[in-house]
Amino acid sequence: MDHILKLDDLLHESSSDDELEIISAFAIAKERLENERGSISRRGSSRRRKAIFRNSLQGEENILRDYFAASPVYPPRKFRRRFRMRRELFLRIHDAIVDHEPYFVQRRNAAGKLGHSSLQKMIAAIKMLAYGVTANFMDEYLRIGEATVMDSFKLFVKAVISIFSVQYLRSPNEDDVARLLAIGESRGFSGMLGSIDCMHWKWKNCPSAWKGMYSGHVHEPTIILEAVASYDHWIWHAFFGLPGSHNDINVLNRSSVFTNLAAGRAPPVNYSVNGHNYTMGYYLADGIYPSWATFVKTIHAPQGNKRKNFAAAQESARKDVERAFGVLQARFSIIRGPARLHQPEMLNEIMIACIILHNMIVEDERDLYQEADAFDYEQINDTPLEPLSREHTAEALDFIQNRHRIKDREIHSQLQSDLVEHLWQIHSQS
């Protein structure tokens, strides 16, 4: 405010009667000018974000000393508990991701300063998955900023899906089917390939315009995961992304769980129960699922010892998928708590990556489960599946006939009756 005159000039031009009024006006104007300058200075300082010297090398030294040294501070069981996997599996994933994604390679910036290491970025991503914490939670220990953590997290999830989904999120091949049938036979359920059910993941930051579509019986926005799991918690099928307003039947009609079977590309399944031969495997399911030939459900309000024995055995074995959900959420708390991201595509990638890592841990620690010697998940059938050609009438008719066989209610009732007798024979002999 250069237009304000100096105090001496004001007093020289004014009369003695106006002296007090002029001094007061000048003091007020001077105070207002100082306040304006101070506010401008404060606004400028708030806009300019000062760079934080985090000493990223110190964060890397902390990691190497605590977990990767020749004699680390924390023993292997602590590593397994905090990172949800053994160190050997962690390093295997680390090497594959560094080779696949250049972002995780440690580099120098334009000033010649060494950036964050691949271990820092990967550990930050895994801790977000394992503990469900925010991006700035690991700053004090890892010495890594929030923006870098989020970039590492998103790229880590994408890399896991790109590298490992073919092996660890595949449909059962012939060897897998034979193994699953043998395990089902030992448990009294000949022809069983696993259990199927749905799980809801609460979506905290669901856009307001979508809340009605994503809110179901829990009256909160959720996203549904349909999964098929076997006795060792391996998840063979995962279909994620439908709004929580759907029920299990709606999800089933949209999923691809029986696509290969309907297309005639599924491995052959042949077994016999109570003197009857069957050519399709089945999944144990709860009461909401339809009475198809590929589902075996419990008996509501069973009457008689045979039916009660069957209901108890079916409800016990069906909890394989419930246990798999529990283990999955215990390992990765990010999908146990409410989802904080806004993009449904990113939530889908997080869920699929957690399932892939879960299956990798199951494979790495399969000696902890029963029938350990029977599991060999490294065997992969790399033969590409031939797409179903709708141009050929014969193939189209086969597809329709297979769909009818899958939904055959008579086979469902006959299979349930045979299993009732089969389980009662096993119970009587024991």
Q: List the domain boundaries for the chain.
A: 56-167, 174-377+389-429
Task: Taking residues 84-107, report their average pLDDT.
Answer: 95
d(CA 410, CA 400): 18
In the predicted model, what is the mean pLDDT of residues 266-279? 92
What is the SS3 assignment for 239?
A: strand
What's residue 358's pLDDT? 97
Mean pLDDT on 310-335:
96
Tally of CA atoms within 13 A in the half-sphere of 393 that contains its CB: 0
pLDDT at 4: 44
Q: Is the pLDDT of residue 134 over 70?
A: yes
| pLDDT value at residue 3 | 45
Residue type, 251: V
Averaged pLDDT, 408-428: 94
Sheet order of strands, 295-297 included? 235-243, 222-229, 192-202, 282-285, 295-297
For 111-125, the pLDDT digits (tens) are 788 888 999 999 999
Average of pLDDT values for 202-210? 94
Q: Above 50 in pLDDT, residue 368?
A: yes
User: What values do phi and psi take at 164, rounded to 5?
Assistant: -110, -5
Q: b/e per residue, 320-350, with b = 16+ CB within 10 A? A: bbeebbebbbebbebbeebbebeebeebbbb
Q: Residue holding tokens 């004014």?
A: 14
What backbone phi and psi angles, to 5 degrees, belong to 208?
-60, -35
pLDDT of residue 388: 43
DSSP label at 135?
Answer: T
- As given in the structure block, the two tokens for residue 286 are 């709860």
Distance CA 200, CA 208 (A): 19
Across the range 362-381, mean pLDDT stands at 61
In single-letter form, the type of residue at position 73 comes to V
**Is the confidence at residue 42, as pLDDT, over 50?**
no
Confidence at 402, pLDDT banded by 50, 70, 90: confident
Q: Return d(Cα 201, Cα 91) in angstroms, integer.
A: 30
- Is the pLDDT at 289 greater than 50? The verdict is yes
Residue 26 pLDDT > 70, yes or no? no
Per-residue model confidence as pLDDT tens digits over 7-22: 455 445 555 555 556 5
Q: What percent of the chain has pLDDT over 70?
A: 82
pTM over 0.85: no
The whole-angstrom separation of Cα 124 and Cα 153 is 7
Mean pLDDT, range 240-244, rounded to an integer: 95
Predicted confidence (pLDDT) at residue 295 exceeds the cutoff of 80: yes
pLDDT of residue 239: 96
DSSP H stretches of helix in 169-273: 174-186, 211-214, 248-254, 259-262
Amino acid of residue 39: S
CB 189 within 8 A of CB 315: no
Higher-pLDDT residue of 354 and 429 is 354
Tell me: pLDDT of 373 over 50. no
Whole-angstrom Cα distance, residue 172 to residue 234?
A: 11
Distance CA 154, CA 135 (A): 11
Contacts of 372 (CB under 8 A, 6+ apart): 366
Model pLDDT, residue 396: 72
| Mean pLDDT, rounded, for 67-72 | 92
Cα distance between residue 83 and residue 80, in whole Å: 6
If you search the block for the tokens 């899958």, which residue do you land on? 406
pLDDT at 218 (0 to 100): 79
Q: Are 146 and 136 in contact (CB under 8 A)?
A: yes
Question: What pLDDT, on the 0 to 100 scale, is given for residue 372?
Answer: 42
Give residue 366's pLDDT: 81
Only one residue has tokens 């419930």, namely 322
